[in-house]
Amino acid sequence: MLSIKPLWPKRWAILDCNAFYSSCERVFRPHLRTKPVVVLSNNDGCMISVSPEAKLLGLKLGAPVHEVREIIRKHRVHVFSSNYQLYGDLSRRVMRILDELHPDVLQYSIDEAFIDFSHVPPGEEESWAHEVCLRVTRETGIPVTIGVGRTKTIAKIASRRAKKIKQKAMYLADENIETALRDTPVGDVWGIGYGSEVKLKAHKILTAWDLREHPNTPLIRALLTVTGERLRDELRGISCVEPGEMNEKKMISSTRSFGRRVYDRIELEEAISTYVGFACEKLRAQQSVARGISVFLRTGAFDDKTTYHRNDGQIFLISPTNDTGQFTRAAIDLVRSLYRKDVAYKKAGVFIFDISPRAGQQVDLFQLEDERSASLMSAIDLINKKWGRGTVRMAACGTKQDWRMLCEKRSDKTQLEWNDLVIVRREFSSLGK
């Protein structure tokens, strides 16, 4: 007699690494596991990761580090510059474990991943999630939280509630949804930004439950476009967001502040060329191509208003591509048109837009190098993935790069570079001979 697998209801789980960057810094420093730790943004400007111990001291995400130096000094907070190679490596380890445990995993960001939990027997969601948390933490040293719900949006709410009560896993079953959504401010719902929150509150939509139960569909669409309507359906338990839509970016950016003021055009071209390389790498990683590129140059945001200067421009290529060389040439042309002599530039960046899937692109008769370009870009990506980002790059990126951002407190790349490996010496006693 054939056994038929029961049709269990659709459920999604989201794994979220707790204070991920701070947790990564602790992996190779066990003595910091109960100490306050913060990680700084590019150029050591703001705090982008704050450990729970640091939060208890009043340190908040996004706060400029110069405003809290006294708290850091008084409480001996451990401060690190961002080390994205370290974070990327540990992220890959976490995702590799998830791939081993579950058949359908979608990485959403460097520290989050959605898991299709439809194969988990009803009633066992939290126990399965708890086991995943334990294994990830045991094998990587990264503490994680898992929220489970009928949709991705509900799973996100479950994860947030689990963190608040310091629980590793939480499943929001149908009978618990109303209480959870009434306790969730509408601004805490996944996909609701500050501007949207203000609009909703003006119409007395204050909680996730208010949004879910609001009957006026034209109003929701007017306030939040069609995305808001789909978000409301997600809160009602109707899955609307397809996996492929979540990790395909519609615009890719790469921006940095310089470690010092930059006056020289050649140095600006080197910086922009470097940022183009990073953006194109992301573009190829999601199997996409693009036509548009925008470049901006500006002075320090807190410089005197009489000297503040910002300039930007954009170019559309003849046909969509993900070739770093083509975008680099376009970006350098933009820098030369935007550059102003005797201006002290402090920040620059690129935006790649008009993105579309690479598959199914119509071939341009005047672009015959597409196949050769794809092979070259693939080879560059493979080399950089194996030997580290920037191992192979465009000559326009320069070699010295003295303009690079400050990172005075960056941790060692202990598991990424030979020179940073820990040296262990073993001493033999006479008894052992």
pLDDT one-digit tens code per residue, 27-56: 988 899 899 999 988 778 789 899 999 999
**pLDDT tens-digit profile of 223-261?**
888 888 888 999 999 888 665 554 556 788 888 888 788
Q: What is the pLDDT of residue 325?
A: 92
Instruction: Count the Cβ atoms, other than its own, within 10 Å of residue 69.
Output: 12
Q: Calculate mean pLDDT across residues 272-289.
A: 90
Better-predicted residue by pLDDT, 412 or 75? 75
Residue with tokens 């939290």: 126
Average pLDDT over the chain, rounded to whole?
84
290, 368: one domain: yes
Q: Calculate mean pLDDT across residues 203-221.
A: 91
CATH number of the CATH domain containing 12? 3.30.70.270
Provide CB contacts within 8 A for 11, sequence distance 6+: 117, 118, 120, 125, 148, 149, 150, 171
User: Is residue 362 scored above 80 in pLDDT?
Assistant: no
Q: In what order do the strands lie in the sheet with 12-17?
A: 105-109, 112-116, 12-17, 144-149, 169-171
- Within a domain: 215: yes
- The pair of structure tokens assigned to 94 is 């976490």
364, 274: one domain: yes
- Within a domain: 270: yes
User: Is residue 4 scored above 90 in pLDDT?
Assistant: no
- The pair of structure tokens assigned to 333 is 């042309």
309, 267: one domain: yes
273, 306: one domain: yes
Q: What's the domain range around 150?
A: 7-172
CA 101 to chain centre: 23
307, 242: one domain: no
Distances 333 to 173, 230, 297, 324 between C-alpha atoms, Å: 56, 41, 13, 14
Q: What is the pLDDT of residue 433?
A: 44
Provide CB contacts within 8 A for 273, sequence distance 6+: 328, 331, 332, 394, 396, 397, 398
Better-predicted residue by pLDDT, 359 or 39? 39
Provide CB contacts within 8 A for 20, sequence distance 6+: 49, 87, 91, 110, 111, 142
Residue with tokens 């320069």: 398
- Within a domain: 416: no
Identity of the amino acid at 72 = I
360, 345: one domain: yes
Instruction: Count the Cβ atoms, other than its own, within 10 Å of residue 385.
Output: 12
Last residue of one domain, picked from the residues 140, 172, 204: 172
154, 287: one domain: no
- Within a domain: 1: no
Number of independent structural domains in the chain: 3
- The pair of structure tokens assigned to 137 is 């933490």
- Within a domain: 414: no
236, 262: one domain: no
Specify the range with the lowest mean pLDDT, choosing from 8-17, 231-240, 364-373.
364-373
User: Is residue 156 scored above 90 in pLDDT?
Assistant: yes
- Within a domain: 318: yes
Q: What is the pLDDT of residue 242?
A: 61
- Within a domain: 425: no
168, 216: one domain: no
363 burial (CB, 10 Å; 0-12 / 13-18 / 19+) is exposed
CATH number of the CATH domain containing 387? 3.30.1490.100
